[in-house]
Structure 1
Amino acid sequence: MARIAGRFGRVEPRASARACLLGLLSQAERKNCWQLAEQAGHIRPGPMQRLLRYARWDADAVRDDVRTYAVDHLGSNGGVLIVDGTGFVKKGRASAGVQRQYTGTAGRIENSQVGVFLAYATSRGRALIDRRLYLPGQSWCSDPERRRAAGIPETVQFATKPRPAWEMIAAALDAVVQAPWVTGDEAYGQDPQLRAALETRGTGYVLAVACSTRVRINQGRTPVRADTVADRLPATAWQRHSAGPGAKGPRYYDWAWIHIGTDNHRHLLVRRNRTSGELAFYLCWSPTSVSLAELVRVAGVRWSVEECFQAAKSQVGLDHYQVRHWTSWHRHITLAMLALVFLAAVAADAAPKRPTHPHRPARSSEPIPLTVPEIRHLLTTVLGPPAVTAARMLHWSIWRRRHQATARLSHYRRRAADETGG
């Protein structure tokens, strides 16, 4: 809280922000305004709702504090910025940016919001450091009344996902985040403008692309599909490298790299699954010469963002919000990111300082380093609220059921009106 306290001009929202962070770090089943208020000992969710909607504070300024916090505790050589999106399945059509769209969270097209995020990963840890709510163009940009109801600023217009990704990357680089590499999946690797912008800034990238991507090899005039290039490779072109440690040990794949274009530092990187033979492709560029092992390391780091999403949703309630407004979404997500980077910083500072071999398991008598879930579990004992009285529990039970009754009556009236045409 010392890092962000100055972002709040009044003591009330500052106290609510502290209570909100403690709630996000607690064992509360659902970390929405109702449960966060109950966890904080409030008699109603009003203070939490005001914090996310009406209180005067700048979520982008707090986002800057989150980014600085991550760099201070996780920063080290070889840092990687990772761009990726995640979905938030929702009901109705009033939430900012919601529509039927594909989300990897559900693995199919769902009524959902999609956030584009930037993660920072180093050998010391990983955390989310920036966020943008994706605004679909078809159903939102041409509907001023709907935009106004959801609080979407007039300056926000439709842009494909690589555009906000680049804005976040540029902001991080301008803030002197030490990250010589950027990586991301096909949604970002297929965008030539994003790749060109990174090259202009002198930032290397390892970006996934589709097998149909065409590249020029041997300075040829005719581009060739990436999968065709891979099929022509001799057996000697493949080398076995680990893409980093996984839950069950090092993640070994077969890798090959092919020089493409006229730039000496531009490559097509191909990954082959040792069991299934499935191929994955990456376009790579670096301002200086690098080794295959370094490109493999950066490609493997991309999965860190998935671990960030999993930890943020399961540990600090990233997707537990029940807000519809543009401002409220960014405020909740920012506070959840702060809670997550706090846990990551504690884990990094608690990690053993002695060197360990990356491929050698620890002795069975040695515990693994403290993890984000374990740290949160320990903190709930230290930071947990005092014992709740039966009267307080009953008060919140009655409050919830009254609001549920109001909502049910509203739904019944709307359904009846639809049936009768009234």
Structure 2
Amino acid sequence: MQEYVAEKLGDPAGVLIIDDTGFIKKGITSAGVQRQYSGTAGRTENCQIGVFAAYATSNGRALVDRELYLPKSWTQDVERCAAAKIPEDRTFATKGDLAKVMVARALASPLPIAWVAADAAYGQEWRLRRMLEEAGVGYVLAVPKSQQIKSLAGIWRIDQLIADAPEDVWQRLSCGNGAKGPRVYDWAAATLPGIDIFDGGQPTHRRWVLARRSLARSDEIAYYLAYAPEGTTVEELVRIAGSRWAIEECFQAAKNECGLDEYEVRRYPGWYRHITLAMLAHAFLAAIAASEGKKGDAETVPAPSFPSPWQRSGDSWQLTRPNPHTTASSITH
């Protein structure tokens, strides 16, 4: 299916997006079911959770991978797993672990991937960020407000860092079109110093901090960590951050049009078969729409350890290094 999506929707600027969705169920026999929080329902429900990967380009978007989350209440019960036909080697894995498996599969597939986007549940996984950097793949990943930022500029919680930003750091930008028109927010961005990735003596990538502030409620702020090729603009980072909503559109379309959530299977193999066929049906519809010219919108795609590091550099902002004796080797990511 990834080969099919690469052929029909592939683009060198493609974005891989990670998220999960819930499938509300009755009873206790469906593989992976238990009372757990479902973002789909917005509350704790008796449900299964699937972790998914979507692929989005200017040609369209489609789901391209899936893994069923198995809580410890399942993986620690051998008889229960055997009854649901769960393979013996399927051990407990966090949702972040499942995400890394799918990202690795996607990077090894024919899908041309330039970026990875995800919400804070996955963005806070430093091992995922490290894996992407080692692969040379850019990312814009949401993180919680408690996320620590460690660089040659110092060590901060990301919300403290953004709160210290001068007001003229903020830019009003659209991160893509939604159902009611452009999604416009105020955005603040700055590069992190001293941790650029070099090749032959020249920087190839930089790490960034990024924040999105609501126009209506200035206290509503979302935070991001980014890793981008040298020369990437703030506008491009904002576009990638906005592309994350494409997976929500995939979930809605696959459920409404392809029966992604309409199944009565209880066993592990049956879940994968049904979900995969529904994903393929959705990818086929996306390919037909692209071939007919109905292309998707590419853009629907502790206290601080040092004083404020925000400094203007030319037309952009960066976080400066206040301590000349701090070295890159002393910083952990």
The alignment's TM-score, normalised by the length of structure 1, stands at 0.66
Q: Identify the residue that residue 291 of structure 2 maps to in structure 1.
A: 349
Asked which structure has the greater CA Rg, the reply is 1
Q: Identify the residue that residue 251 of structure 1 maps to in structure 2.
A: 183
SS for the counterpart of 2:140 is strand
Counterpart of 2:195 in structure 1: which amino acid? D
Q: Identify the residue that residue 210 of structure 1 maps to in structure 2.
A: 144
Q: Identify the residue that residue 267 of structure 1 maps to in structure 2.
A: 208
CA–CA separation in structure 1 for the residues paired with 2:7 and 2:180: 30
Q: Deviations over 1:49-108 (max 9, x none)?
A: xxxxxxxxxxxxxxxxx2111111111231100000000011111010111110011111
Structure 1 portions without partners, runs of 5+: 1-65, 359-422
Evaluate the alpha carbon distance shift between residue 352 and residue 119 of structure 1 in structure 2; reply closer, same or farther with a 3 A threshold. Answer: closer
- Is 1:235 the counterpart of 2:167? The answer is yes
> How do residues 336-375 of structure 1 correspond to structure 2 at under 5 angstroms?
336-351=278-293
Q: Identify the residue that residue 121 of structure 1 maps to in structure 2.
A: 56
CA–CA separation in structure 2 for the residues paired with 1:72 and 1:115: 26
Identical amino acids, percent of aligned pairs:
53
- Is 1:226 the counterpart of 2:158? The answer is yes
SS for the counterpart of 1:147 is helix
Assess if the C-alpha contact under 8 Å between 1:241 and 1:252 holds in 2: yes
Assess if the C-alpha contact under 8 Å between 2:260 and 2:275 holds in 1: yes
- Is 1:334 the counterpart of 2:276? The answer is yes
CA–CA separation in structure 1 for the residues paired with 2:213 and 2:51: 28
Assess if the C-alpha contact under 8 Å between 1:94 and 1:150 holds in 2: yes
CA–CA separation in structure 2 for the residues paired with 1:161 and 1:352: 34
SS for the counterpart of 1:207 is strand
SS for the counterpart of 1:216 is strand
Evaluate the alpha carbon distance shift between residue 339 and residue 262 of structure 1 in structure 2; reply closer, same or farther with a 3 A threshold. Answer: same
Structure 2 portions without partners, runs of 5+: 197-205, 300-333
CA–CA separation in structure 1 for the residues paired with 2:107 and 2:153: 35
Q: By how many angstroms is 1:258 displaced?
A: 2.1
Q: Deviations over 1:348-402 (max 9, x none)?
A: 111169xx999xxxxxxxxxxxxxxxxxxxxxxxxxxxxxxxxxxxxxxxxxxxx
Give the one of 106, 109, 112 matched to 2:44: 109
Assess if the C-alpha contact under 8 Å between 2:118 and 2:244 holds in 1: yes
CA–CA separation in structure 2 for the residues paired with 1:200 and 1:288: 16
Q: Deviations over 1:117-176 (max 9, x none)?
A: 000000111000100001111x11111100000010011111111111111111111113
Assess if the C-alpha contact under 8 Å between 2:2 and 2:110 holds in 1: no
SS for the counterpart of 1:286 is strand
Evaluate the alpha carbon distance shift between residue 114 and residue 352 of structure 1 in structure 2; reply closer, same or farther with a 3 A threshold. Answer: closer
The structure whose RCO (Cα within 8 Å, separation 6+) is larger is: 2
Evaluate the alpha carbon distance shift between residue 158 and residue 357 of structure 1 in structure 2; reply closer, same or farther with a 3 A threshold. Answer: closer
Q: By how many angstroms is 1:238 displaced?
A: 0.8
Between Structure 1 and Structure 2, the one with more strand by share is 2
CA–CA separation in structure 2 for the residues paired with 1:150 and 1:313: 24
Give the one of 170, 175, 191 matched to 2:104: 170
- Is 1:288 the counterpart of 2:230? The answer is yes
Deviates more, 1:88-97 or 1:170-179: 170-179
CA–CA separation in structure 2 for the residues paired with 1:125 and 1:220: 40
Assess if the C-alpha contact under 8 Å between 1:215 and 1:261 holds in 2: no
Q: Identify the residue that residue 297 of structure 1 maps to in structure 2.
A: 239
SS for the counterpart of 1:171 is helix
Q: Deviations over 1:230-267 (max 9, x none)?
A: 11111110111110111121111111112225223011
- Is 1:67 the counterpart of 2:2? The answer is yes
Counterpart of 1:258 in structure 2: which amino acid? A
Q: Deviations over 1:195-214 (max 9, x none)?
A: 11111111111110011111
SS for the counterpart of 2:23 is strand
Q: By how many angstroms is 1:287 displaced?
A: 4.2
Assess if the C-alpha contact under 8 Å between 1:198 and 1:205 holds in 2: yes
- Is 1:160 the counterpart of 2:94? The answer is yes
Between Structure 1 and Structure 2, the one with more helix by share is 1
RMSD value over aligned CA atoms? 1.8
Q: Deviations over 1:393-414 (max 9, x none)?
A: xxxxxxxxxxxxxxxxxxxxxx
- Is 1:190 the counterpart of 2:124? The answer is yes
> How do residues 302-313 of structure 1 correspond to structure 2 at under 5 angstroms?
302-313=244-255
- Is 1:323 the counterpart of 2:265? The answer is yes
The runs of 4+ residues in structure 1 deviating greater than 3 Å are none
The alignment's TM-score, normalised by the length of structure 2, stands at 0.83
- Is 1:131 the counterpart of 2:72? The answer is no
What count of residue pairs does the alignment treat as equivalent? 289
